[in-house]
Chain A
Amino acid sequence: MSRRLATLIFILLIFMAFREAKIYQLEYPNYFPKPEYNFRNNPLDSSKVELGRLLFFDPILSKDNSISCASCHSPYNAFAHTDHDLSHGIYDQIGTRNAPALFNLAWQKTFMWDGAINHLDMQALAPISDSTEMGETIVHVIEKLSQKKLYKESFFLTYQDSIITGEKLLKALSQFQLSLVSSNSKYDRVRKQETEFTKQETKGYHLFQQHCNSCHAEPLFSNYQFSKNELPLDSGLNDFGRFKVTQQEEDRFKFKVPTLRNLSFTFPYMHDGRFKKLNKVLNHYTSESIKAQFKKDPKKKVIELSEDEKVDLISFLLTLNDKSFVFNSKHQFPKVLLEEMKGIK
Chain B
Amino acid sequence: MRLRYILFVGFILCSGFLYAQLKEAQLEIEILFGDENLELGRNYYVDELADSVEFESIKFYISNLEIQSNSTWQEIGKLKHKLVDLEDSTSLSMKVRGYSSIQKLRFNLGIDSITNVSGAFGGDLDPTKGMYWSWQSGYINTKIEGKSKVFKTRNNYFQYHLGGYSGVFKSCQKVTLLSNKQEKLVLQLDIKEFFVNLNPTELSSVMSPSLEAVRLSTLLSRMFKLKE
Contacts and interface: CB of A to CB of B under 8 A. Distances in A.
A190 B87 CA distance: 62
Contact of A166 (B1, B126, B138, B167): B126
Nearest to B169: A247
Given A1-B2, A2-B5, A119 B135 contact: no
Contact of B120 (A121, A139, A245): A121
A38 B114 CA distance: 13
Interface residues of B, number: 23
A5 interface: yes
Interface in A80-130: 116-122, 125-126, 128-130
Given A121-B119, A125-B132, A246-B167, A166 B127 contact: yes
A171 B118 CA distance: 12
B120 to A, nearest CB: 4
A118 B1 contact: no
Interface string A291-325: 00000000000000000000000000000000000
Contacts of A60: none
A119 B119 contact: yes
B121 interface: yes
Interface of B: 1-2, 5, 116-122, 125-128, 130, 132, 134-138, 167, 210
Contacts of A138: 127-128
Contacts of A1: 2, 5
B121 to A, nearest CB: 6
Given A119-B117, A121-B119, A121-B120, A166 B137 contact: no
Ranked 6 nearest A-B pairs via Cβ: A2-B1, A121-B119, A121-B120, A129-B134, A167-B122, A118-B137
Contacts, number: 76
Given A126-B134, A128-B134, A120 B1 contact: no
Nearest to B165: A118
Contacts of A139: 128, 130
A255 to B, nearest CB: 15
Given A1-B5, A5-B5, A41-B119, 8 more contacts: A38-B118, A116-B136, A116-B137, A119-B118, A120-B119, A122-B127, A166-B120, A167-B126
Nearest to B136: A116
Interface core residue of B122, B136, B138 (most chain A CB under 10 Å): B136
Contacts of B132: 122, 125
Contact of B116 (A118, A142, A170, A246): A118
B128 A119 contact: no
A162 interface: no
B2 A2 contact: yes
A21 interface: no
B2 A165 contact: no
Given A119-B117, A119-B118, A121-B120, A126 B126 contact: no
B166 to A, nearest CB: 9
